Structure 1
C-alpha cells in the first residue's frame, strides 16, 4: 500500500473571542462592587473617561424610588439567607490568599479561582466541569482530571469541609483535618459512619454495628465525633456581619403585570469627555487615540451589560410571576438553557448575568440564581421547582419539635400530603442542600 500526501481546502466555524467581547463578558460577570472597582481603575488610567455626577433632583428621585420599593417589609423570608459582607477579610479573599501561597501552576490557580466562585452559601460545590469549560479560553482544553485536581486542592484549604459535594464528604474532610483529636479506631469508624447517615438519623444502632463491624461503644464514640463537626463549613464566616447586599434589579407591580428596572443608585455613570476625545483624535499621538477607542469601547460594554441583565430579569419576572405573588413555595422550574434559547444568548452569558446579581422582591432580596432550578413532577402532574420544594421543607423543619426532629421518611410523607411526591433519597439530597444535618444530629445538638 502506498501512502500519498495531499492538500485539501475545507471550511469550519470557530468562535473567536475578540478583545471587546472578552471585556463585555468580564464586565457582565462582575458584581456591583467589582464593577465599581473596574470603573474607578479605568477613570484613573484613562483621561478621556469621567464620572457623570447626577443632579441633586435626580438623586432625590432615586432615593424616593428606592424608598417606595423598600418601604414595606417582606411578608415572608426567602429560603436563602440574605448575603452579607464581613467587616474584615471575606471568605473569597481568604481562599484566594491560600491559593496564591500554593505551588500550583498559573493554569491550576485559574481553575481554582473558578471553583471558588462556584461555592454556595454553605461552602458546598455542585460543579459541572463540562458547562464551565466552555467559559474558558478555547485553547485551554481543560480535562476532567484537572478539574478534580483543582477541587482536591480547594478541599485542602481552611475552613475544613469547604468544596465538598455533599454533607457526607464535608464531614469526612473535617474528620481528616482534625484526625489527631480521636484515636485511630474512632476516626476510622466515624469516616465509615458518614456513609450511613440515613441509618444514623433513624437510630438503627444494631444495623449500624453490623454494617461497620464495630461495638456499640465504638459506634457511640464515632457518633460523638460527628457531633463535633460543622455541617455548614462557612457558618463561622457568616457571623457578626452588618453590610447587606443592595439589589441590582427591582421587581415592582405595574398594573396587572410585574415590571423590572435596574437600581438607579447602582447605575455606573461613566461617559467619554467628547471635547477631549475629539481633540485627541485630531491631534493626539497614536497611543492617545487608542485611549479614546478604549474609553468608547468600555462605555459600550457597560451599556451591553445593562441590557443583558435587564433582559434576563424581565424573562424571570414573566416566568416566576407566581413566586413574586405567592412566595418561594411557588417557584417554577427554570434552567439556564431555557432562558438562553428564549433570548438567543449562550448559556454561559446567562450564568454571568445572574452571578452575584441581586433582586428586590416582595419576599426580600434574592440572588438572580435563586430563580433557577430543576423540576420535580407533583401528584397533579405539574412540575414543581426543586427550590420550591426546599422552601416547603424549610417550613416543616423550622416547625419541628427539637426533641423529636423529622426524619427524611417523615418529611417525604408530609410532602406527599401536600401533593409533592418525591423519593426519600431526594428529600435527603434537598435537606443537605439546605445545610440541615440528619435528624439524629439535630436532636443531639438540640437544634
Structure 2
C-alpha cells in the first residue's frame, strides 16, 4: 500500500555567480590569464580594457535587467563544491594546486630523447634484423630513469605477439648486455645493484683495488651496504677501514639514475607569486600580483544592442530569442567581472589576516617565529567559511624578501612547552633539523636521544611525533645517517 508523507528539509544552493567565484578563487595567478582568455573567447559581451563609461554600459544594463528577467538561475548543490580537494582543513600534503595544464612539460627545441640516443648507438652494433627488433623492444622498455623494470618473460611475450618473434631469456640477456655497454653508464640495468656494478665495471683496472673492492661490496654485501652495516662488510671482505672508506666514497659518487638527465630536456617549473610583500621603513605592505587584476569591461555594442531590442516589438519569436541570448551573454560578462573583483578582495583580506597573525615571521623570516595557526583561526578573523580560506591557502604563494612561500607554509599545529605556551610544529622541526645537522655522523642520534634533547629544550613531544617530523623532513633513521 502506497502512502504519502510530507517532509520538510533545509538545503543550501549555490547560484551561478557563487560557483564562478569559487572556481576563480582556487585558480592560481599563473592560470588566471588562461581562464580570462577562455572567457573572452566564449563571451563576445566581455572585452579587455578599462571601462571608461561604466554608467552608460553597465548601469543601464542593470536597470533593464531589473525590469525584465527571463534568465533562470541554475541551482547547484553546495556539497559538489565545498567537499572537494580544497576543503582539507588540516592542510595535509605539500603539493600546490595542480591541473593537467601544470603537469605538461615545457617544449624545448633542439633536444634528443634518451631512447633516440640509445637507438643511434645501436647502429654501431653488428646485429642482424632479428636482433635489431629485439634490441628495439628492450630499448623501448627502458624507463625515463634508465632502468628496465619489466620482467624479461613479459618482453619475450611482447615479441611473440607484436613482432612474431620467438626467443628465450638467454638470447634476450645476450642482447641486453650489449645495450648495457651504451652511454650513459649503468643504462638498462634491472635494479640499483646492477646499475652501480655496470658503472664500476667501466672504471675497472687490474691494479685498481678500490674499484675491485667496490664491486665486491655491491656483489657480496649489497644488503649490508644499503643498511650501512660497515663493520659487517669489513669483517666479511676482510677490508681495512681506509680501504672500505675509499670504496664506499666511490660508490656514493655513482649515478643511481643514469637516464635521469640524458634526454637533454629540462622540465622547468616557474613559481609566480600571487602576493608581493614589501617592508618600507618597518611597515609591511601587501600587494596583489598585477596579473590578478585584469582590466575587463562589458561590451558597449552589446549593451546598446540589448537596449535597442528591449525597445522594439517583442512579439516576434526570433527577436525574443535574440534578446534572451544577448541578455545571457551580458549577465555572464557582468558576473565574471564581479567574480574577478571578489577574488581580488578575498585574496587580500585573507593574506592580510595571515600577515597580522604571523607578523613576527614576516619581519625577520625566522621559522621559529611562526605561531601555531590553523584554517579556523583565519576564517574567524575574516568572517568567511573555512573552505574559502582553504582554497586560498592551497593554491597561492607570497613573495617576501626572504623568498617565495606557499601560503599553507604558515599553517601548522601547536606543540606544548614546559612554560604552558603553544609553539608551532615548524619551530620544533627547525630545532630537530638543527640537532641532526650538528650530530656526529659516526654516532648519529637515535629517535630516543632526539626526544630527550627536545624535552630538555622544553618541548613536550613524544617519540612517535619525532619520528613523524623526521620523516616529513626526509631525515633517514640514525643507522642510515651513519658515515665512516
* TM-score interval (norm. to shorter): 0.5 to 0.7
> Which ranges of structure 1 fall in alignment gaps of 5 or more residues?
55-106, 123-157, 161-179, 184-216, 229-235
Counterpart CA distance in 1 for 2:479 and 2:347 is 44
Counterpart CA distance in 1 for 2:380 and 2:85 is 30
Q: Deviations over 1:148-198 (max 9, x none)?
A: xxxxxxxxxx999xxxxxxxxxxxxxxxxxxx8599xxxxxxxxxxxxxxx
Q: Deviations over 1:27-62 (max 9, x none)?
A: 1111112222111111122222233389xxxxxxxx
Whether 1:428 aligns to 2:467 is: yes
Does the 8 Å contact 1:259/1:317 carry over to 2?
A: no
> 2:363 is matched with which residue?
325
Match for residue 351 of structure 1 among 378, 382, 390: 390
- For residues 43-442 of structure 1, the aligned pairs below 5 Å read 43-52=40-49, 119-121=93-95, 220=224, 223=227, 243-253=269-279, 258-264=284-290, 266-283=291-308, 285=322, 286-326=324-364, 327-442=366-481
The alpha carbon displacement at 1:395 in A equals: 3.1
Counterpart CA distance in 2 for 1:259 and 1:220 is 55
Counterpart CA distance in 1 for 2:92 and 2:336 is 27
Counterpart CA distance in 2 for 1:331 and 1:436 is 22
> Which ranges of structure 2 fall in alignment gaps of 5 or more residues?
52-79, 97-142, 146-189, 194-220, 230-250, 253-259, 310-321
The alpha carbon displacement at 1:402 in A equals: 4.0
Counterpart CA distance in 2 for 1:316 and 1:354 is 10
The alpha carbon displacement at 1:255 in A equals: 6.1
Q: RMSD across aligned C-alpha pairs, in angstroms?
A: 4.3
> 1:30 is matched with which residue?
27
Does the 8 Å contact 1:249/1:262 carry over to 2?
A: yes
The alpha carbon displacement at 1:4 in A equals: 9.9
Does the 8 Å contact 2:298/2:333 carry over to 1?
A: no
Counterpart CA distance in 2 for 1:299 and 1:358 is 23
Does the 8 Å contact 1:358/1:367 carry over to 2?
A: yes
Does the 8 Å contact 1:247/1:263 carry over to 2?
A: yes
Task: Evaluate the alpha carbon distance shift between residue 346 and residue 253 of structure 1 in structure 2; reply closer, same or farther with a 3 A threshold.
Answer: same
TM-score in terms of structure 1 length: 0.56
The SS at the match of 1:380 is coil
